[in-house]
Amino acid sequence: MPLADSLIAQLVPIIGPIRLEGESGLLQTPVVIPQGVARSAALLTVAERAGVVVRVKGSVVSIEPMRVSPMALAEQMVPARQVASSPLAPPVYQDPAALLPVVGPAGSPAPQPSFNPAPIERWVSQSDKGMTLKQVLKEWVDRTGQWKLRWNASTDYPAPDMEWSGDFLEAVDRTMTPYMRVKRPIEVVLHKEQGILEVVDKRN
């Protein structure tokens, strides 16, 4: 079936009516939905096979070609604190001798640098486990070791199938956005100085 139809089949039962955005050629890419797996895993497999990136922001689902450049890959392997730099920082003098290749004993090759990129975090929820949003967020918060969950909402909801990759706060934002438009809406308030993620009833 076309990629557009497969996305509708996987996402509408979770977040309700959606609007697809992307090149018509990508949306018509023929795909096969794997059977016997959670919706989130099926969606990930479909996207990988079609060579696309699926981004969900509220009810808008955008489709983009998957592009991986050498620069992007290199940036993923460098810690964030090394990538960021201040334009006002003074130039740093480097001894020219430090630029010479390292030479070992005769006949032995120079040591090669090794890269150990940090694994990409995945934030997953499976509806067949019967967990609620509160339980899923508590589990994710505990994994970070940096945040605490404060649930002050009067309503909790069953957790749907979800799978997000990358930043924790972005995963929380994507998870909670649909629940800001339900009959009894809830939202997240961040208290960054205290490291608290608070869920409250949304005010009109």
Asked if the structure places residue 148 within a domain, the reply is yes
**How many domains are contained in the chain?**
2
Last residue of a domain, one of 39, 65, 91: 65
Q: Is the pLDDT reported for residue 99 higher than 50? A: no
Asked if the structure places residue 14 within a domain, the reply is yes
pLDDT in tens, 121-139: 888 988 888 899 999 999 9
Last residue of a domain, one of 17, 43, 65: 65
Q: Which domain holds residue 168?
A: 122-201
pLDDT in tens, 152-187: 999 999 988 888 888 899 999 989 989 998 999 999
Are residues 197 and 128 part of one domain?
Answer: yes
Asked if the structure places residue 115 within a domain, the reply is no
What CA dihedral angle connects 150, 155, 158 and 161, to 10 degrees? -60
- Interval 56-80 mean pLDDT: 58
3-state secondary structure 64-111: EECCCCHHHHHHHHCCHHHHCCCCCCCCCCCCHHHHCCCCCCCCCCCC
